[in-house]
Structure 1
Amino acid sequence: MTTPTASSATMPGSGLTAIPAYVPAEPPAGSGAVRATAARSLRWTLLESFGLSGLSFIALIFFSRYLSAAEFGIAAVAIGIVQLLNVPVEMLFHDALIRTREATARHINSAFTAALLIGVLLTGACWLLADRFAALIGQPEVGPVLRWMSLGLVASGWGSALVALQRRHMQFRTLALRSTIGRGGSAVIGITLAVSGAGVWSLVAQQVSMTVLATLALWLLAPERPRFGLSRPELGEMTRFGVPAASFSLVGLSTQRFFMIGVAAFLGVQAAGILSLAFRAVDMLRDIVGSAVAQLALPIFASLQGSRADIRRTFSAAVRLTTALMYPLFAGLAVCSYEVVEIVFGARWLGAAPFVALLALLTFQFFGRLFSVPIYNATGHPVLPSIALLLQIAYVVAGMLLFGRFSLEAAAAVWASRLLLGLGIDLWLLRRVTGLSVAGQLAGAMHPALAAAAMAAVVHGTKVYLLAAYDPALRLALMVGLGAVTYSAVLWLLNRSLVLELLAFARQTVKRAT
């Protein structure tokens, strides 16, 4: 990775200076520079990650108290469609602006104008076709919700170029503030409407206002702003670069969105709402760590792209530390799912508890493979993960048509079993790219997984035979304490050096933060 140069050229009549050359994929003279930059950025990526997921989780708690499962299901389908349509708006020019060696004002203005036009066109398409789509899946209530929720695409178009520019310069502070303002303000708006009895429209208001507020904050915080203008050469250059990246993002988002649409179409919006709450609860907790780590992983692995041995060592250490921290949390969530759902969301959502448990266990695969995509990107193989993702989409669609349509449990089985297909392909691909054997890829997660399994068994047995008569809150507190002690003890017995490594990592993190 090269650092920005001190010079910049002004484009006549553009109102914006050219952005100095900056190419994240090129390593600096020493990898220590990348680690230092990543360390300085850590506090802001963590703030953004914790802030966004934390605010979203608080809002989810309020929504669960005032909205029905059917309203959650209607919103889940509409949100899924808007998120898919937002990919070309947000991502078509994003990577091109970040990675191009010389991003001139013509690049920036063209990306801004084109993204805004795409957002307007897709919003218009939603207004014209929403009712037809709703009729196609047999859920007419989705149509009006989708129309109004699509307004967020226009706001996303206004801000997408500026987001890319802030990431180009690693201005994570601005991005963290922008995201926190958007998520916090929209949470207040959505919760206020939910308490007032607005129902599903409180979720619509939250989604649209989140994008509007975040974009407005970014325009106020950014030192320079794009103007309207289209330049065919620059637009063509960015489009050629951006189409593969946007396509991969679209494929990555499609699996869960297609699955939720299938659940709503075959099993109804109430079933979709139950699964939606389970997905949102687990995904928000998972993304607190996942999104922060993912933002910092690419520059670190990019600095090592010339050395397969260094990549293997870094991958193993990253998997070892991440799984040691995350596996006990999500194994604990799985075994305590009924208590957590009842206390946090209310007894009427207990039907979601088994799906919360299942999704919590599926995060084991997520954290074990969290660093695969950054390695593919850093080593020049960004398209490879799409192979597994495309096969998973086909599997989910076929599985829902043949099997998942009969019950919510069958649909959940389709969702879980798709990971077996994806995991096998990812293990093979990463072995080809890095030379790291399948056993080597899994070794770092082995001891944390065994310790987490032992913890879950002890906690579950204690819950069933000793704590069943206790109040849910007291039972949960006792289970958490027992789980923490059990996991720590078992991991110490299995791998004492890993425990010491975790303690050293914690000390370094605290020292860096202070």
Structure 2
Amino acid sequence: MMASALAHSAARGAFFTLSAQAARIVLQLLSVVILSRLLSPHDYGLLAIALVVVGLGEIFRDFGLTSASIQAPELSTGERDNLFWVNAAIGVVLTAITFVLAWPVAAISQLGDLQGIVQWLSLIFLLNGVATQHRANLMRDLKLRALAIVDVTSSAIALAAAVAAALLGAGFWALVVQQLTTGTAILVGVLIAGRWFPRWYSRAVPIRAFLTFGSHLVGANLLAYVGRQIDTVTIAIRFGTQPLGLYNRGFQLIMTPLGQVRSPLQSVALPVLSRVQADQRRFDTYVIAAQLALGYTIGIPLAIVAGLADPIVGIMLGARWAETAPLISMFAIAGLLTTVSFVGYWIYLARGLGAELLRYTIVTTVIKIVCIVVGSFFGLFGVAVAFAVHPAIAWPISLAWLSRVTPIPHRKLYQGAGRIIATTLASGLASLGIAHLTASAPDGVQLLLGLGGGVVIAAAFLVLPVYRRDASSLLAFVRLMVKRQPQ
């Protein structure tokens, strides 16, 4: 009965999370369509450089304590209070440090506008530091409906604020307004939804175990962050803000919506996997199901996007962004490959394997840096190709690494991934072929025909029994998602 209730909670949580992320993706696409026409590639290039600094600080601001508090089998009121004050204090310190660092960042980059951008964005650390444990508490208690409402509302308010600022001629400051409005709205939202007010820090309540786990996760996330930003830094140094703006728009068009689906699902997967980690059979079942759900539902759309990059850019961004199309294809392929392997990251967190995750991340970060640097010798597109090659190398390493440190159903994960890749490859090639055959048609016609062709080819795989079994498993999960909890 408990297993059934947990499965139902996980499914309903996934339903609310996916619904919220669908709404956020729509808002993100609206942001791309509207702001790309009001702002220039240079504006986005400036923000991309500033967010390198902010993103680095965000790793230290969280200090891995969100995952540490969710993963813990038990969390007392005193521990939660102390974790809040640690995150809040780190946020204050990072705000001050980043504010001061804005001067050397602007001087080194020789972009004077960066000083003000970075200084204003430093306030994000303060906002997020106060919100961290309130958000983690909602995730731990699987109050994902409230969290979904907060995320969607904050995105909508931030988009409205950014568009208003852009229309008033604010330029790149419109993007700063969007970031700060998001942080403020999320803080207010989680405070209202959580209805929890921390008590003062107590030295009588130890949190060393949380800090130890968090420190390992910080190390892993820091290395992963270096890997994520190496392309931005390389392009900024070698090619300048204009090409960086093109690259950043393509990246944001694909990877931001993808992150808005995958990462929030961690708020469902992590507490659920943590609760069943002692039951190996159930744990394996959930992991396999998660990979299939992510792979098919996200992978097939990504493959179709890779094939239809040209009409998508024409519709979404406009003619002056045409050079972004081949980059988008590479980002979609990279997104597909990272999605197939994403459950591995969840296993590390659910099992509390912070030290092992750090060691694995060291290896894969070095691989990514090498790929990006080599790719940069072949121009902007070479960097995008390298971005897609890296996960193809890292994924088998991830499964091999995990199988050495913890029991995982590695054979079934390989088999499931193989089926996902076969389906998505065929679907993507069908969309690409249709796009080429209808190249003289309007972008909208190409998009509709290519989308239909890709979906039909993906559906054709259902003639095979193994794919029908996968579909049945996914449909059973969908039924749990829409079914109300029995009273």
TM-score normalised per structure 1: 0.85
SS at match of 2:441: coil
Change (3 A) 1:270 1:109: same
Following superposition, the deviation at residue 340 of structure 1 comes to 0.6
Change (3 A) 1:507 1:156: closer
Following superposition, the deviation at residue 177 of structure 1 comes to 2.6
Deviations 1:114-163 (A, max 9, x none): 32332222122222122312333454443321111111111112222222
Kept in 2: contact 1:131–1:143 (CA 8 A): yes
Per the alignment, residue 247 of structure 2 pairs with 275
Find the partner of 2:198 among 226, 229, 233: 226
Following superposition, the deviation at residue 287 of structure 1 comes to 3.0
**Residue identity opposite 1:316 in structure 2:** I
Deviations 1:37-79 (A, max 9, x none): 2234233322433333332332222211111111111101212
Kept in 2: contact 1:63–1:194 (CA 8 A): yes
Kept in 2: contact 1:492–1:499 (CA 8 A): no
Change (3 A) 1:366 1:154: same
Kept in 1: contact 2:224–2:365 (CA 8 A): no
**Aligned pairs (5 A) from 1:469-508:** 469-493=440-464, 495=466, 497-498=468-469, 500-501=471-472, 504-505=475-476, 508=479
Find the partner of 1:132 among 104, 107, 119: 104
Indicate whether 1:163 and 2:135 are aligned. Answer: yes
Find the partner of 1:193 among 156, 165, 168: 165
SS at match of 1:305: coil
Higher helix share: 2
Find the partner of 2:77 among 95, 104, 122: 104
Kept in 2: contact 1:404–1:413 (CA 8 A): no
Indicate whether 1:320 and 2:320 are aligned. Answer: no
Separation in structure 2 between the aligned mates of residue 160 and residue 496 of structure 1, nearest angstrom: 40
Following superposition, the deviation at residue 353 of structure 1 comes to 0.8
Deviations 1:278-313 (A, max 9, x none): 111112332343234322223443344334444444
Separation in structure 1 between the aligned mates of residue 191 and residue 319 of structure 2, nearest angstrom: 43
Separation in structure 1 between the aligned mates of residue 461 and residue 213 of structure 2, nearest angstrom: 49
Separation in structure 2 between the aligned mates of residue 293 and residue 403 of structure 1, nearest angstrom: 32
**Aligned pairs (5 A) from 1:423-434:** 423-433=395-405
Per the alignment, residue 154 of structure 1 pairs with 126
Indicate whether 1:203 and 2:140 are aligned. Answer: no
Kept in 2: contact 1:183–1:210 (CA 8 A): yes
Following superposition, the deviation at residue 354 of structure 1 comes to 0.6
Indicate whether 1:442 and 2:414 are aligned. Answer: yes
Separation in structure 1 between the aligned mates of residue 452 and residue 436 of structure 2, nearest angstrom: 16
Separation in structure 1 between the aligned mates of residue 345 and residue 11 of structure 2, nearest angstrom: 20
Greater CA drift, 366-375 or 201-210: 366-375
Per the alignment, residue 43 of structure 2 pairs with 71
Change (3 A) 1:234 1:47: farther
Per the alignment, residue 52 of structure 1 pairs with 24
Deviations 1:357-414 (A, max 9, x none): 1111112212211211222333342443333322233334445556526621232233
Kept in 2: contact 1:275–1:352 (CA 8 A): yes
SS at match of 1:234: coil
Change (3 A) 1:96 1:66: same
TM-score normalised per structure 2: 0.89
Indicate whether 1:302 and 2:279 are aligned. Answer: no
Matched residue count: 484
Separation in structure 1 between the aligned mates of residue 16 and residue 434 of structure 2, nearest angstrom: 40
Indicate whether 1:255 and 2:230 are aligned. Answer: no
Separation in structure 2 between the aligned mates of residue 300 and residue 109 of structure 1, nearest angstrom: 23
Separation in structure 2 between the aligned mates of residue 318 and residue 100 of structure 1, nearest angstrom: 21
The percentage of counterpart residues that share the same residue type is 21
SS at match of 1:170: coil
SS at match of 2:278: coil
Separation in structure 2 between the aligned mates of residue 73 and residue 82 of structure 1, nearest angstrom: 14
**Residue identity opposite 2:479 in structure 1:** Q
Separation in structure 1 between the aligned mates of residue 234 and residue 87 of structure 2, nearest angstrom: 30
Following superposition, the deviation at residue 337 of structure 1 comes to 0.6
Greater CA drift, 341-350 or 95-104: 95-104
Per the alignment, residue 211 of structure 2 pairs with 239
Kept in 1: contact 2:83–2:133 (CA 8 A): yes
Separation in structure 2 between the aligned mates of residue 95 and residue 317 of structure 1, nearest angstrom: 22
Per the alignment, residue 386 of structure 1 pairs with 358
Per the alignment, residue 155 of structure 2 pairs with 183
Kept in 1: contact 2:11–2:478 (CA 8 A): no
Kept in 1: contact 2:11–2:481 (CA 8 A): no
**Residue identity opposite 2:420 in structure 1:** P
Per the alignment, residue 341 of structure 1 pairs with 313
Find the partner of 2:323 among 351, 376, 388: 351
CA RMSD of aligned residues (A): 2.9
Separation in structure 1 between the aligned mates of residue 25 and residue 439 of structure 2, nearest angstrom: 32
Gap regions ≥5 residues in structure 2 = none
Change (3 A) 1:304 1:433: farther
Following superposition, the deviation at residue 269 of structure 1 comes to 1.4
Separation in structure 1 between the aligned mates of residue 107 and residue 369 of structure 2, nearest angstrom: 19
Separation in structure 2 between the aligned mates of residue 442 and residue 237 of structure 1, nearest angstrom: 34
Separation in structure 1 between the aligned mates of residue 89 and residue 331 of structure 2, nearest angstrom: 38
Separation in structure 2 between the aligned mates of residue 307 and residue 141 of structure 1, nearest angstrom: 54
Kept in 1: contact 2:360–2:401 (CA 8 A): no
Greater CA drift, 501-510 or 37-46: 501-510
Greater CA drift, 222-231 or 144-153: 222-231
Change (3 A) 1:169 1:458: closer
Kept in 1: contact 2:60–2:218 (CA 8 A): yes
Find the partner of 2:333 among 350, 361, 374: 361
SS at match of 1:41: helix
Following superposition, the deviation at residue 494 of structure 1 comes to 7.2
Deviations 1:91-118 (A, max 9, x none): 443344442734234x344333332332
Following superposition, the deviation at residue 439 of structure 1 comes to 4.9
